[in-house]
Structure 1
Amino acid sequence: MTSFLSGFRKGSSESPKAPDSDLTSSTTKKPKLRLVLLGPSGGGRTSLVETLLGSRNGETEAPGAPLLQSTKFTVDGEELIVVDTPDLLGTSMEDGVRATEALRALQLTRPGPHAFLLVLPAPGSSTDDDQDAAQAAKAALQLFGEEASEHILPVVTHADRLGRNPTVDRLMEVEGWKSALDLCGQSPELVDNRPGLELEAQRELRRKLLERGMDMKELRGHFVHELQRREDLLREELLADMSSALAGKLGQV
């Protein structure tokens, strides 16, 4: 993997486009890949966003203010779109705000994301909060619907806390994790995203996650929420009504 962003800047809902991407070669561009990241605050979601954008410098990150609004980042002319979300799966936000931000995330990836990366800290990590993995997976399905399960890729951060050679089997032995992973349509990705991670390891992690996303895109296409289907239907009906009204006016000329 070569070429990473030199930096990026967050916006209230959308960041500026940024140059360079591992999704492109010197001659051709691969299709767009649209990702939405979900997960509790403090679980490693933000550092994973920076890894996907290629902007991590390996230094220890100072804790920042919690994200309050779904935010879109783009790489290489939107060949890669990454949407970071606030704590949609927890209890820190009112239900109405959670619903609004969930729909905003879908709008920012229109016509829909190819994958939801459900970012969860490994059990026993210092960033683990009161919400367990099963609750997070159920909350994601409650927000986006059961059909979203086939598009959810669990990403377990701080996997080094599972031991020297962390495995999915070892994770499944932890109480609550088997039921959580059974709710998702994809096998989990165990990642080591600790501060100070070597640049080559960051590149390998990015490559692996983007490959998983592309595989999901090729296999299942993008996710469409039920409300988006209704919106498209209403738009078509409105267009038909407006066309009919305009045709009537033209006939009177």
Structure 2
Amino acid sequence: MEVPNTLRIVLLGKTGVGKSSLANSILGTNVFSFSDFEKSICQAKSGSVNGRHVTLVDTPGLISRDRSGEELKSEILGCISECAPGPHAFLIVLKVEKMTEQEKAVITQICQYFSEDILKYATVVFTHGDQLTEGMKIEEFVDQSDDLRELIKKCSGRCCVVDNKYWKNRQQDEYRTNQYQVAKLLDAIDEMIVKNKGGCYTTKMLTEWQAQQDERIKPSSASVFSIFKHLMNSLKRKPWAFVGAALGVLFIWKLMKNQHAAEAAETSLSM
């Protein structure tokens, strides 16, 4: 199977890991901005890399303190439309450093947004490669951490490393050049595309996953009681807000009754 001459790639990771710098290193030019505003939205830029047309989509940092969870999720999921019909590859960007609970939370969040199937289309790219011990390859660094080893395994072993500050110029060690690592990255993506039979992560896949998530989130008696308890506490502080919130509880309760009625009807039909 021939690999496509046009590649669509989305970068994911927390704020400060070097997603924008990595995107610039891949394209070989500083087209991605670092302004606070532009870091809060998806940015799509295209260029020629080793004779191929490559579109990169940079996304806002995950685990953001400046934006609500739903707002951030909506913006990041919108990256799929930036490279319709969908990205051939996701780059999960991490620093060359110990994997903390925050990094684990980032991986969890990515899988919650897109489903764990995203890892079939993902390559892990480490930045700050200069932090590697002299002579060490990124695979050796990964092997020191059970969590990293498990993540790379789920990505079928795909990983590479760059250094957006020190590896721009020619080095004595070819391995420690962004040019070598970008070529290695594109080769890994090509192998992944062949393995995925030329497919990409599509809007349909995302929609189906979100529908599954919505189906799992159903109101329960316990959740209604919890909301009601919260309302009673709020009433003491803001009496005027009680009416609107109470209507919300009634709406949820009605949904629960309809759900129970539908389940009862389904049970009776199956008997």
TM-score normalized by structure 2? 0.62
Greater relative CO (CA pairs within 8 A, separation 6+):
1
Structure 1 pair 229–131 and aligned structure 2 pair: CA distance change class (3 A): closer
Amino acid at match of 1:135: A
Residue among 42, 60, 84 paired with 1:70: 42
Instruction: Check the 8 A contact 1:117/1:153 in 2, yes or no.
Output: yes
Alignment partner, residue 202 of structure 1? 178
Structure 1 pair 112–30 and aligned structure 2 pair: CA distance change class (3 A): closer
CA distance in 1, matches of 2:118, 2:167: 34
Amino acid at match of 2:135: N
Alignment partner, residue 214 of structure 1? 190
Secondary structure of 1:72's counterpart equals strand
Alignment partner, residue 151 of structure 1? 121
Tell me, which stretches of 5 or more residues in structure 2 are unaligned? Answer: 172-176, 211-271
Name the one with the larger helix percent: 2
Instruction: Check the 8 A contact 2:89/2:122 in 1, yes or no.
Output: yes
**Aligned Cα RMSD in Å?**
3.3
Alignment partner, residue 223 of structure 1? 201
CA distance in 2, matches of 1:75, 1:92: 31
Alignment partner, residue 187 of structure 1? 158
- Alpha-carbon shift at residue 192 of structure 1 (Å): 2.9
| Deviation per residue, 1:111-134 (Å, 9 max, x gap) | 11111000100116xxx98722x3
TM-score normalized by structure 1? 0.65
Aligned residues: percent identity?
24
Alignment partner, residue 52 of structure 1? 26
Structure 1 pair 90–219 and aligned structure 2 pair: CA distance change class (3 A): farther
- Alpha-carbon shift at residue 199 of structure 1 (Å): 5.8
Alignment partner, residue 5 of structure 2? 31
Amino acid at match of 2:133: G
- Alpha-carbon shift at residue 224 of structure 1 (Å): 2.1
- Alpha-carbon shift at residue 53 of structure 1 (Å): 1.4
Structure 1 pair 176–147 and aligned structure 2 pair: CA distance change class (3 A): closer
Q: Which moved more, 1:81-90 or 1:188-197?
A: 188-197
CA distance in 1, matches of 2:170, 2:4: 24
